Structure 1
Amino acid sequence: MDSRTRIAAAAWLATLGAAGALLPLIEGADWLVQAGVLLAAQSGTGVLLRRPPVPAVVPPLAQAAVSLLLLTVVCVREEALGGLLPGPAAFDAFGRLLSAGADDIGHYAAPAPATDGIRLMVFGGVLLVGLLVDLLAVTLRSAASAGLPLLALYSVAAGVAQEEGGWQYFACAGTGFLVLLLVEGRDRLTGWGRFFGGPGVPAWMPGAPPPGAAPAVAGPRVRAGRRIGALTLGVAVLAPLLLPQLGSGLLDPEGERGAGGPGGSTSLDPLVALQDHLVRGENRTVLTYRTDGGDTPSMYLRLAALDEFNGTAWSSSRWWEANVPPAPWPVFGLASSVAAREVTTRISAAPDYAQPSLPVPYPATWIETPGDWSFDQGSQTLVSADGELSSQGREYRVDHLLVEPTAEQLANAPAAPGDIAEYYTRVPAELPAEVGETAAEVTAGSANALERAVALQRWFVREGGFRYDTSVASGTGPDAVAAFLRDREGFCVHFAFAMAAMARTLDIPAQVAVGFTGGVRQADGTFQVGTHNAHAWPELYFEGVGWVRFEPTPGQGSVPPYALPERQEPAPGPTQPEEDPTERPSPSPSPSPSPSEREAQPRTPESDEDEGGFLGWPWFPWIPWTAVLWTAGGTLVLGLLAWPAVWRARARAARLAPGAGVPAAWRELTDTAWDLGIAPLGWETPRQAAERIMRVCPLDEEASAALTRVALAFEEELYAPDPPARAAAPDVIAVSAALRASAGRRQRLRARLLPRSAVRVIHESLSGASSTARTRLSPARRGATAPPGTGA
C-alpha cells in the first residue's frame, strides 16, 4: 500500500468519525453506514486515479462527479436518466428534497427521523467534507489543514446536539483526525529517513545501560508523537468532567429569579425561566413516576394553569382554597358520557427540585402527601400558599383521570356557559388586529370549534412555516404575540401563548398550561422527567369534556388522537382499483406529513421497505439487520486487533522454515528482540547489533554463543564471495526463547498480542505483493519486445 492510499484511508476514517457526531440528531444509525459506503466509493475513486501519473486536478474532479452520480442513484434514482445520470428532472428533484429537508429540520426536534430530505442533506454534506479532506490531505499533502472541514462538520453537529453530543462522539472525531495526522507524519518521516528508538528498555529494568553511559541515539520521536496525541485527546475528553461547570443553567443559587427553591434547587418559573430549562445545562432528572395507566406519552404533568391575559402577561388567578376538599375532587366541565379511566400515579421529586406546587397529571381527583397544603382549583393541584412546603425530595400519590374524548364528541360539544365563555375569551383591547385577522383567515371554512382548533394547530405545526428556536427572547403581552406571528420562530411559550390568544379571538375559551411532557420510559417501567421536558401548551374548553390539550409546537410533545387531522382517502378513478384500507398509500410529490401526522401513522413492513431505498436494507425484511451489523462490526474490530499477531506469526513460520536462509533467520531474531523492546538501529552492523542485544538483555552462555553464530553467519552472507550454507533456524529459536525468558510478563504479553515488528512485517508483505503484481503486469512478462541495452 503506497503512502497516498494510506493517507486516503485515514482521511476516510477521519471524515466518518466526524460524521458520527450527527448520530444524536438523526434517528437510527443505518444512514451512517450508508454515508460510509458512499464516502468509501468517493475515496476509492481518488485512490484508483492517483496510481498512474495524472494531473493533480483530475482526481478531485472525478471524485466530485462520482459523488454526484452516487447521490443521484441513492436519492433521486426515479428522475435520473437511465437511473444513473442526473438530468434536469433529477436536479429539480434535488431542489425539492433540499427544501423538504430544510422544512423537516425546522419541524422536528432531535433526534429527527431520517427523511429523504434529511438524508440528502447529510449525505451531501458528508461527501463534500470528505472531498475537501481528501483534497487537502492527499492531493495537497496538508493533513493539518484538513482538520478545518472536519472541525466544521463536528461543530455543526455538536452545536445542534448540545449535551446529547457526548464525549464519545468527540473521541471518535478526535481519534480520526489524530490517525490522519500520524499517517501523514509517517509518510513525511519515511521520505526524510526513518528514525528508530534507543536501547528499548526502561532504566528500572534489569539489563538497562548504566546511568553514566551515553545513549545510543535520541528518544523515539514517532512513539512520543503518538503518546502526545493520545494524551492530548484524553485530556480533552476528561477535562470537562473534572473541571467545575461554568454555568448553573437551571440552578439558581442566588435566588435571582424569585422562583427557585432553597439551597440552589431546580425550579420552574412559567414566565421567566422556562427558556433556561430548554437551552441551558444538562437534562437533569426532576421527577420519576410510575403509573398503572400504561404507556401514556400524552399524559402531561401540569404545574400551573395561566388563565389571565391582561395585555402585559399570561398569569394565574391563584384560585387557592385554604382547606383541601375531600376526595374525589370534582373535575371542571366533565360529563359522564365522556370516556375517562381512573388511574393512580406515584411521583417522586428529585432532592434538588423545589416547587411550591406539585406537578400532577390533569385532571387530578386526589393527591396523597403529608403537610398543610392549599388547593389550587384552577390548576387542580396542591400548592403551598405560605412557601413552607415544596416538592423537594417529596414522594406523593396522585389519583387522576385519563379523559379520552372522541373527535365527534368535541365537534358536537355545545357552547360553553356564559360566565366561562365571557371570562376565558377576554383579550386586551390593545391586542393587534392582525392576531384576530390571522386566526380568522387560518380557520376559514371550519364548521365548529374543534375544526378551528385543529386548523390553528396544523398551521403552527406545518402550514405556517414556523421554526422551533429556543434562542428567541420569550417576551409577553400582545406585541410579543404579533411579533411571533410575523417572525414565525420561537419555542413552546410562543406557540402556546399565540394559539391561546388566537383561540380567544375566535370565541373559544382558552388558557395556557405550564409543566412537563410525559418523560422517557425506563427499563423498570418507570418514567423519568428531565428539565428539558419543561413545556407550555394551550388548553381549550369544550363543554361536557372540560379543558382539552392541543400541541402547536413543532416536534415537541405528542398530539392527542382527537387533534389529528382527518386523512383524506383518494377518490377512485375509472381504472383505479379499490384500495385496501390496511395498505399504505403510494408516495406522491406532496409535502411530507407533519411530525404529529408522521407519529400517528402506523409503521408496517411495507412502509419500512419503501423508506429504505438503496442501501436502506429493504432486502429480506425478516433478517435482524441491526444485530447483523453489530456482529459484523464486532468481528471486524476483533479481526483488526488480531491482525498484527497473525501477520507476525506467519512471518515467523516462513523465516524459520527449512531453506529460508540466514538473512531471513537474522531478520526474525532482530524482530523478536524488537517485539520485546530492543528496537533495531539501521546503522549497526550485525555484530554490533548482537553485542547490544546481549548488553541490554543478559543471556546465558549457550544463547550468547548462538546469537554470535547467527550474526557472523549473516555477515558472511553479506560480504563473503561464496558463503557456506548454514541452518540458522535452531540458533534463532534458542536465542528467542532466552530473550522471552529474561523479559517480564507484560513484555511477553505485549510481544504476543501487539508485536512492534508487525508494522515492518506487514509493510514488507504488502510491498512484496505489490512488486510481484507489477512484475507480472510489466511489458516483458506480456511478451513485449525489450528496449535496447536491457540484455533481454
Structure 2
Amino acid sequence: MNRSTRTSLLAAAATTATLLTLRPLVSSGAWFADALLVVVAVTGTGIAVHRLSRRHAPAVAAQALVLGALLVLLYAPGTALLGVVPTGETLRRLAALATDGALAVQRYSVPVSDLRGLQPLMVAGAGLLALAVDVLATRLRHPALAGLPLAATYAVPVALAPGGSGAFAFVLAALCYLLLLRADVSGRERRWVPAAARRAGVNGLGLAAAAVAVAVVVPAAVPDLDEKPLTFDLGQGESITVINPILHLKDSLGARSDATVLLYETTEDAPAPLRIVTADVFDGKTWAPRTGTDIPRIQRVQTGMPTAPGLSDEVRSAAVEETTSVTVRNLQQNYLPLPYPAVRVAIEGDWLYEQDTLNVVGDGETTLGRRYTVAHLRVTPKESTLREAPPAPEGIRDVYTALPETLPASVHEAARTVTEGARDDYERAVQLQRYFRTTGGFTYSTEVADDGGSDAVASFLDSRSGFCVQFASAMAVMARSLGIPARLAIGFLPGERVGDGRWRISAQDAHAWPELYFEGTGWVRFEPTPAARTPNAPPWSLPAVTPGTNGQVPPEAALQPSESPGAAPSAAPSTAAAEEELELGTGERAWSDPVEELPWAWFVIVALLLSSLLLPVLSDTVLRRRRWASVRGADDSAEAAWADLADRTRDLGAAWPDSATPRQAAERLGEFAELQPEESAALTRLRRAVERARFAPGADGGERLARADVDRIVAAVAAQQPRSVQWRARLWPSAGMRALSRTEVPVPWSRRGPDQAPGRGAEPAPRERERVGSSR
C-alpha cells in the first residue's frame, strides 16, 4: 500500500468517526448508512483513479462526479436518465429536498425526527466532508489542514445538542485524526532524530493521545464544570427552554423545570392554552409539522391575519375579541406562542403566518426576549353547531385523516368500540375524550415504558398510562381512523395566575392536545388528558345531553365539579412570581441586559473556527520568530537562514530532501527557478555560510546573514509560480504545522554533538543514500 492509498483510507476513517459525533442531532440513525456509502464511494473513487492516472486532478474530478451521481441515485432516481444523469426535474426535486431540510433546521430543535429533507442534506454534507478531507490530506499533502473541516463538523453538535457529543465519538474521531497526522510524518522523508531525543523517548502521538484522554477525563472528574459548556445563560442561572415541535410518544413534556418561560396579561377570565405550532404528519410514532411550502413574505402578522380555516361568518360574529400581551423570558423558538385564532399581532421583526394553520414563524427571528400583543377571538361553539356541521372539504379530509399503513388494526377497532352508538362526529369526539379522561381507566404518569415503535398508540391503549402527548396522539389517531380530520397542537397550558389578569407559564406547563375539524367552526380543541394534569375540559366538549352508549357514564357523573363549564383554572398565586413586574408593551422588544442576551456560544464557535483557519500562518510566524531569536552568532545565523529558505521554498514547490548537501540543495533550487545574478549571489553566500557553519564551526571570517537575502531568493522563486501557488504559500504555510506534528526535538547545528551531524558518524538511511546518489 503506497502513501497516497494509506492516507486516503485514514482520511475516510477520520471522516466517518467525525460523522458519528452528529448522532445527537437526529433521533434516527437511518441517515448514517447513506452517509457511510457516500464516504466509501468518494474514497474508493479517489484511490482507483489516482492509481490509474498517477495524477491528483482527475481523481478529485472523478470523486465530485461520483458524489453527485450517488446523491441523484439515492434521492431522485426516478427523475434522472439511467438513474444517475440529472435532468431539469432532478434539479427541481433536489432543490425541494434542500428546502425541506433548511426548514427542518430552522424550525425544529434537536433531536430532529423529520428527516425527509434533512437526511439528503446530511448525506450530501458527509460526501463534501469526505471530499474536502481527502483533498487536503491526500492530494495537497496537508493532513493538519484536514482538521479544519473535521473540527467545524464536530462544533455543530457541541453547539446545538443539549449534552454535546458523546465522549466515545469524540475520542474515536480524535484518534483517527492523530493517526492521519502520524502516517503523514512517517510517509515523508524522516528527519534525523537526535540521540538525546531518542533517549528521552519523545513521542508526539503518545503526547497527543494523552491530551485527548485528559480532555475526556478531567471534565467528568471535576464536578464544578458544566456538562454543557456551550449553552446560553440569561444571567440568572436559568437555561433557555426549547419546546420541540416534533413529538415522540416516548418523550415527556411534563418532566421539566419550574423556570419561568413567559408571562402574559389578558382580558380573558379563563384563558385558553397558548399554541406554539400544530403537527399534522403522523408516521406511526411521531407527529411533525408539514414542511416544504414556502411562506410569502407578504404574509406578515403586522398586516393582519386571515380568518381561521373553516370558521364561518356566523360563528365569527358571535366570537368575542380579546387582547393578550406576552413577555417572553427564557423561551427560544422560531414559532410564536399565540392564543388561537389570532387576528393581529403587534411585534417587531419579520414574523410570517402560515395560511392553512395560522402558525406564526420567524424569518430569522426567535422568541427570546420578545414582547408582543395579540388580538384574538374567543370562540365558544354551540353544541348544535358542532352536531350539525357538514362534512369537511375533500382537501381537509385527505390531509388530516391520513394514517400509516403500519397502524395496528386494534387501534381502529378500539375507536369503533368506544364510539359505538354515536350519531355524529361530535358525539364520537366527545366519547373519545370522555373515554380517556374518565371512563377508560387511564392514569396520567410521566413514568412510562419507552416503546417508541410503530405500535406506540396500541401499546398506550393497552397500558392505559401515559402523559399528555400520548393521550393527545391516541385521540387524534382514533379520530382519524373514524374519518374525523384531526391534528396535534403543541404549546402551553394557561399556567398560574399571579395577579389581576396576569399569568405565569413555566416549562412544566408544556402541553399537547388534539384539534378536530368541524366545518363552520374550524379547528376545535379537545382535552383527553385526565384531570390530574388538566382539571378543565373545554365547555363545548361537555354536552348537555349524553346518549347512554357503550363505555359512557350518566350525564350527572360526566360533569364533575372540576370539569364544569364555568370552572376557572387554578388561580393560586405564586408569591415569588407575583412579585415579578409585568410591564407589557405593544410590540417592543424586552431587553433586560443586551450583554447577557448576546449569543456568546456562537461567538466562541466563530472564534475557534477563525483560530483554526489562522493556525498555519500563526504557527509559521511563531516558528520563524523563535528561529531567528535563538541566533547567537554567525553559525546560528547561517542555519536559521538556511532553514527559513528551505521551509518557504518548499511551500512554493521547490523542496529538496533532507539528505541533500547544501551544494546539492542550491543546485536544485537554481534549476527549479531561473535566478537573476543578484539572487544567485545571495544563494551562493548563504550556501557557503551554511557549509562553513557545519564543517568549520567557529572559524574566522563568518558573519551574520541578513534575512533580506532569504526574502530576495524566496521572492524570485515565487515570481515564477502561478498565483494560486503563491497564495497557498501565504495562507497555508506548512512549516509551522510540520513543527507541531514533528516527533523529534530540533537541535541547532552549532550545538549538536559529533555523533549528530551527517559525515560525523551518522550514516544516512538507505532511502536517503539512494536519493543522495540520484541527485548527483
**What interval of TM-score do these two structures reach, taking the shorter chain for normalisation?**
0.3 to 0.5
Structure 1 length as normaliser, TM-score? 0.39
